[in-house]
Structure 1
Amino acid sequence: MSTVPAATGPQDRTAAAPSWADAALERVLGRVAVTRTEVGDRFPLFADPGTGQWTSTGRGSWTGGFWAGLLWLRARYTGTGSDREDAVRFTDRLTHWVDADTATRGLIFWYGTALADTPQAAALRTRAAQACRNAYDRELGLVPWGSAFGGPRLLARVDGVPGMVPLLASVDPQAARSHLRRHLELCVEESRRCWSWRYETPVGWMPCDDPPPGWSRGPAWLRLAVADATHRLGTDDLAGAMSHLPQEQAVPPADAAHPEGPLDTSAAAITATALLKLGHREWALTLLDELVSTHVTADGRLLKGCYDLASGTATQHELIWGDFFLAYALAALTGLVDPHEA
Structure 2
Amino acid sequence: MSTARAAKGPMDTTAAVPSWVGAALERVLGRIAVTRTEVGDRFPLFADPGTGQWTTTGRGSWTGGFWAGLLWLRARYTGTGTDREDAIRFTDRLTHWAGADTATRGLIFWYGTALADTPEAATLRARAARACWDAYDPGLGLVPWGSAFGGPRLLARVDGVPGMVPLLASVDPQAARSHLRRHLELCVDESRFCWSWRYETPAGWMPCDDPPPGWSRGRAWLRLAVADAAHRLGTDDLAEAMSHLPQEQAVSPADAAHPEGPLDTSAAAITAAALLKLGHREQALALLQELVRTHVTADGRLLNGCYDLASGTATQHELIWGDFFLAYALAALTGLVDPHEA
Calculate the TM-score normalised by the size of structure 2: 0.97
Residue 307 of structure 2: aligned partner: 307
Residue 247 of structure 2: aligned partner: 247
Q: CA RMSD in A?
A: 1.0
Residue 261 of structure 2: aligned partner: 261
1:203-282 mapped onto 2 (5 Å cutoff): 203-282=203-282
Displacement of 1:11 in angstroms is: 6.1
Detail structure 1 runs of 4+ shifted over 2 Å in the superposition: 8-13, 189-192
Q: After superposition, what is the alpha-carbon deviation per residue over 1:203-254, rounded to whole angstroms, capped at 9, x for unaligned? A: 0000000000000100100000000000000000000011011111000000
The answer as to 2:2 corresponding to 1:6 is: yes
Q: After superposition, what is the alpha-carbon deviation per residue over 1:106-165, rounded to whole angstroms, capped at 9, x for unaligned? A: 000000000000000000000000000000000000000000000000000000000000
Gapped regions of structure 1 (runs ≥ 5): none
Residue 109 of structure 1 aligns with an amino acid whose one-letter code is: F
Contact 2:6 2:337 in 1 (8 A): no
Contact 2:45 2:55 in 1 (8 A): yes
Return the alpha-carbon distance in structure 2 between the equivalents of residues 336 and 9 of structure 1: 7
Residue 85 of structure 1: aligned partner: 85
Residue 200 of structure 1: aligned partner: 200
Between the two proteins, the alignment pairs up a number of residues equal to 338
Displacement of 1:15 in angstroms is: 1.4
Return the alpha-carbon distance in structure 2 between the equivalents of residues 334 and 256 of structure 1: 32
Return the alpha-carbon distance in structure 2 between the equivalents of residues 174 and 307 of structure 1: 33
Residue 104 of structure 2: aligned partner: 104
Residue 318 of structure 2 aligns with an amino acid whose one-letter code is: E
Gapped regions of structure 2 (runs ≥ 5): none
State the identity as a percent.
88
The answer as to 2:161 corresponding to 1:165 is: no
Displacement of 1:189 in angstroms is: 2.6
Displacement of 1:192 in angstroms is: 3.5
Q: In 2 relative to 1, CA 39–281 (structure 1 residues): closer, same or farther, beyond 3 Å?
A: same
Q: After superposition, what is the alpha-carbon deviation per residue over 1:290-319, rounded to whole angstroms, capped at 9, x for unaligned? A: 000000000000000000000000000000
SS at match of 2:16: coil
SS at match of 1:44: strand
Q: In 2 relative to 1, CA 11–310 (structure 1 residues): closer, same or farther, beyond 3 Å?
A: closer
Displacement of 1:8 in angstroms is: 3.6
| Higher RCO structure, 1 or 2 (CA under 8 Å, sep 6+) | 2
Residue 67 of structure 2: aligned partner: 67
Greater shift after overlay, 184-193 or 113-122? 184-193
Calculate the TM-score normalised by the size of structure 1: 0.97
Q: After superposition, what is the alpha-carbon deviation per residue over 1:50-96, rounded to whole angstroms, capped at 9, x for unaligned? A: 00000000000000000000000000000000000000000000000
